[in-house]
Structure 1
Amino acid sequence: SVLLTFDDCYQSMKEYAYPLLKEAGFKATAFVVTGWLFDAPQPYEPEVSRTLSSAELAEMSDVFEYANHTDHFHERKDQQGRSMWETPAAFAQDLRSCNQHVAIKDVFAYPFGFYDQQTIATLEKEGFVLAFTTKPGSNTAQTKPMELHRAVIPFSLPMAAFEQRFRNEEMNQ
């Protein structure tokens, strides 16, 4: 099985991924930083990294399901995500704020892939059952559900390299 996921809900997701996924009949999960969403759609400018609006996410809900990627905790310092330096209570409040705006309320993606045991404990206390890292590789029955792997595919990866990466993953199972 393959699960397609997207982080942050940038405009390029609507411009490029949405029409292709819709045409192919594929579904995907997008992890939303709800505090970054615009109140109204903004003009698309490919040279600018800009997120979508809540209304645009609703328009794409025939393809995308939305899950928690924090409300305002998508920050990093050195090799730490904000969930690692803030109090568990502050992180829990941020999770609850984001969950008011997403349909999938028990799945999370760690911003920048940063987490620690305190982050995991807070997620579990808040009822999350799955969390995605940025660690490469496939998931098996032995993979910890709060430390799921993801193969990160940057937008700049040529299609041939993507196909080779996918074939390598299949052979390693």
Structure 2
Amino acid sequence: MSAKSRQSLFRAKLAQQILSKAKGFTLIELLVVIVIVGVLSAIAIPQFLNQVRRSRAAEGQTALTAVSRASEAYRLDTSVYPDWENIDPEQCNRTERARPDYCGVKGDKFLNDPWVAITPIYKEPVFTDKPGSQTGVRITTEADTGKGPAYVNLGNKPIKCEIGLGDQATEVQQNSPYFVGRSCNVFDAD
């Protein structure tokens, strides 16, 4: 046997030993891993999307909380709940006010930031039921899908949030058509 053939035979045996010791994944093992990853992603992705919806609704709730605090401050000064223009800081900054009660007794603003600074995605709040009332008021806002089409609920409708003050607080919690958990229609599919 020549040196070249012995060397070739040695290389072939060496390659065979290396390949026989090499361990890899079988097709079944790979399929099992793919199925597990698929199941986990099927669970995780909807949960992530729901968390995104909750955070977008929390933005609306936080903004309405700021408006409700300003409304309560207005009520403490004037003994009635306001309309939106009574607490809007842009109205408060006007040099010629139509009414004297746009600002607090010391000229301070009831709401420190304009609505677009608080949440540019939601429309300006609407005061309903009893504006100018001594007993309560309901404040509602809705996502402006022209500015943020992702601000929709499961039913692909704009997220709506509302909050009640005074006697309207219980009314909102018990009878609101889109009260889910807190004050937004995040998961309504209707």
TM-score, normalized by the shorter chain, greater than 0.5:
no
The higher radius of gyration belongs to 2
User: What is the TM-score of this pair, normalised by structure 2?
Assistant: 0.26
